[in-house]
A and B are shown apart, each in its own frame.
Chain A
Amino acid sequence: MLMNLSEYHRSLIKKVKDIAERISIRNRDVDETSEFPWDIFQIFTENHILDLPIPREFGGGDADSFTCCLILEEIARFSPSSAHMIGGHWLGFTPLKLFCNKSQKEKYFPRLRSSLSAFSLTEPSAGSDVGGIITNAVRKGINYILNGTKIYCTQGHVANVITVFAKTNPEMGMKGLSTFIIENGFPGFSVGKIEDQMGMRGTPAAELILQDCLVPVENLLGKEGDGFNIAMQTLDRTRPKDAAISVGIAQGTLDYVLNYGKEELFMAEPIIKSQAVQFLLADMAMSIEAARLLVHKAAFLIDEERVSSKHSAMAKCFATDMAMRATDHAIDIMGAAGVSREHPIEMFMRDAKLLQILEGTNQIQRLVISRSLLS
């Protein structure tokens, strides 16, 4: 495991930090309007952040999971919702990276350097339970015809390419699940409701409506029936990224409170002189460090081709719970300023809450962990 960052990582982090600080001035506006920040997307594209995990042969940055986690943490320190945009894109790209055949790669990888992808698994009846998916795909000649409604697809309304899970064989349960590469321009594809959500408001979740949606046979990812495996392989690799965003949120919160606490007073002394506050800050710093190491370990295992569902779930669950606690305590330290929208921490707390739920609720993560302990 990397305990010392390489020169490459250090310079990349510095570059990303500059960008993240610059885009963070848009945080409040994006939070208020919940409009997708295309300007920030543009900055990420131009600076080759969006394309980091895309293989070099297709013009990408060829970054491993560890590097991606470092980047997400750094962006989230300043702008969690912007980190979530990148995370959402990489989530959509991960199944493609793992399972695309040569011609699919050639068709989609270059374009995903500068356009968004998304991942669409959830349905009204299928949240934690992927087996509850109703959306079906029926093969007809050179196409599959998809029908159904997907929900809570992060940035599904602005993504160009979406990996969609549907049942090709409803009787087979999980084994009847398949994955399709769907472009937003395919006939029968439309965006339904865009959610007005609590946090991560720059990257809202969208409802996707598939009504006799025509998907060419060559856009099947893997084979029919591979869907469940594709979903799980993907989530094992992306959960550390949500964890990294959480670490960034908590670190950004700690940085902010430390700075704030030098100026503001508690019982006639600077807040940070109060032992009660010092202890809270110490707890925050400890748990951030622990979460970060867990993220790095999970990412390291992925990069070593020793993917561990358990470690990915532990990182996600621990780090997201930790970020929730850190932001919660930070507000309590700051008092009225903490709940004022003139400071970013109340927004960070709302952003953190989403991460405890998406990509598998933390209850599901605990299930994954305990199963692996008992198996």
Chain B
Amino acid sequence: MQSELTNTQRDIQKAAREFAEKEFDLDLALELDKEARFPVSIFEKACRLGFVGIEYPEEYGGQSFGLFENVLVTQEFCKRDSGIGISISLADIASGILFRHGDENQKKNFLTPVIQGKAISTVATINSSNGSEKSTIPSIVEEYPDELVLNGETPFVINGSIASYIVVFCKSKNNKLISLIVERNQEGVENLGLQRMMGLRMSSISKIRFDHVRIRKDHWIGEESEGTEHLRCYLIERRIKTSSQALGIAQGAFDLALKHSKQREQFGKKICQFQGVQFMLAELYTLIEAAGALVYQAARSYDSQSSDMEKISSVAKLFTTDVAVKIIIDSIQIHGGVGLMREYSIERMLRDTKTIKNLEETILIQKALIAGEIL
């Protein structure tokens, strides 16, 4: 996974690794997970150092790199700590939509503050975890030339309790998908409370209700007909970022298992000297290499906007999240009893990975998308 990186990319990777090792306090992570709190000060510091929004142009506060560099940073962050790593990676979840489709004012007012660490964003989208049409999507109930009125409810909104604005995908009166910026403190925006999840607890997954929220024209993103395209691009980006999170966590779990196997002695030997453990490690290592190659390829496809980016993003998410769960389950197994204890971060890695794997589009959806592409 290393050989193909440029010197600059290696520098970014190294800087991200050093930052995570220095700043991500594992005791704090345990507490944040338990209390469902976001790592505010670590996020702010990561923003100051340019890790967050690294893929956006300097004029908006970014570093003018690509999604590939974001993947490198996310991987290193999540390798060190799943909860802190993912929650920082998710804090700017709406940025891509604003950057790709927003106007200059929207970028200045909403994208830049997040890159600077002054705000956290979120996206309320169709709860498409299983392509379920039963789940509701907010809709426009009144339309005026300068104002739209939004009604509805969205479950499982990442950062729901901490975001200062929400990019909402909703249905227009013509039944088209549109995206809008809704500010969190606007009248009619109500947080219906934290949804307790298996993992991802630092990202305050919440249910949000929109009750006759009035949205001015300067908060509409693009044209009415463009929403579907906004969502398509958003999901491609999300799949690649989720893959990079899963990849990083899997590496982190594997590193812990490898270390443990070299330290733990039973029957007068290090457990890594037993072939049963060696072959498990060999298999996990192989899966990590394969997943890494896929994620990097997907990120490069995105950066070059290649025609296969949609398919490869699904392939990467399907494979990486699936093998990451396996890698973590087996890494816990290599640890034995200690791997089950909450004070040791590996059980949290399983909870977090299982959650990112399923919160948005599931592997069933990915398979359906891939099948559609290849047939």
Contacts and interface: CB of A to CB of B under 8 A. Distances in A.
Interface of A: 122, 125, 127-129, 131-132, 151-152, 195-199, 205, 264-268, 271, 274, 276-277, 324, 328, 331-342, 346, 349-350, 353-354, 356-358, 361-363, 366-367
Which 6 pairs between the two chains have the least Cβ-Cβ distance? A335-B129, A346-B198, A341-B196, A336-B129, A129-B266, A198-B347
B253 to A, nearest CB: 13
Contacts of B164: none
Interface string B140-173: 0000000000000001100000000000000000
A139 to B, nearest CB: 28
B280 to A, nearest CB: 8
A230 B198 CA distance: 39
B345 to A, nearest CB: 11
- Chain B contact-residue range equals 35 or more
A335 B340 CA distance: 24
Contacts of B291: none
Interface stretch (B93-101, B130-138, B176-184, B300-308): B130-138
B358 A197 contact: no
Interface stretch (B65-73, B104-112, B212-220, B361-369): B361-369
B199 A339 contact: yes
Given A122-B337, A332-B363, 14 more contacts: A128-B266, A195-B341, A198-B347, A198-B350, A264-B132, A328-B325, A332-B358, A332-B364, A334-B130, A336-B358, A339-B358, A353-B347, A358-B337, A362-B333
A341 B197 contact: yes
Interface in B248-295: 265-267, 276-277
A197 B348 CA distance: 11
Contacts of B354: 328, 331, 339, 346, 349
Interface of B: 127, 129-134, 155-156, 195-200, 265-267, 276-277, 325, 329, 332-333, 336-337, 339-343, 347, 350-351, 354-355, 357-360, 362-364, 367-368
Contact of B130 (A125, A205, A264, A346): A264
B130 A363 contact: no
B199 A266 contact: no
29 contacts: A125-B265, A127-B337, A128-B267, A128-B336, A196-B341, A198-B350, A264-B134, A265-B132, A271-B130, A274-B364, A328-B354, A332-B358, A334-B130, A334-B358, A336-B127, A338-B358, A339-B199, A339-B200, A339-B354, A339-B359, A340-B156, A340-B196, A340-B197, A346-B197, A357-B337, A357-B339, A358-B337, A363-B333, A367-B276
A151 B266 CA distance: 16
Contacts of B134: 264-265
B266 to A, nearest CB: 4
A332 B342 CA distance: 23
Contacts of A268: 131, 133
Residue of B129, B130, B329 most packed against chain A (CB within 10 A) = B130
A360 B122 CA distance: 45
A266 B198 contact: no
A247 B350 CA distance: 22
B274 to A, nearest CB: 8
A324 B350 CA distance: 12
Contact of A277 (B127, B199, B347, B364): B364
Given A129-B266, A268-B131, A335 B362 contact: yes
Contacts of B276: 363, 366-367
Given A339-B359, A349-B354, A353-B329, A266 B340 contact: no
B129 A353 contact: no
A319 B269 CA distance: 29
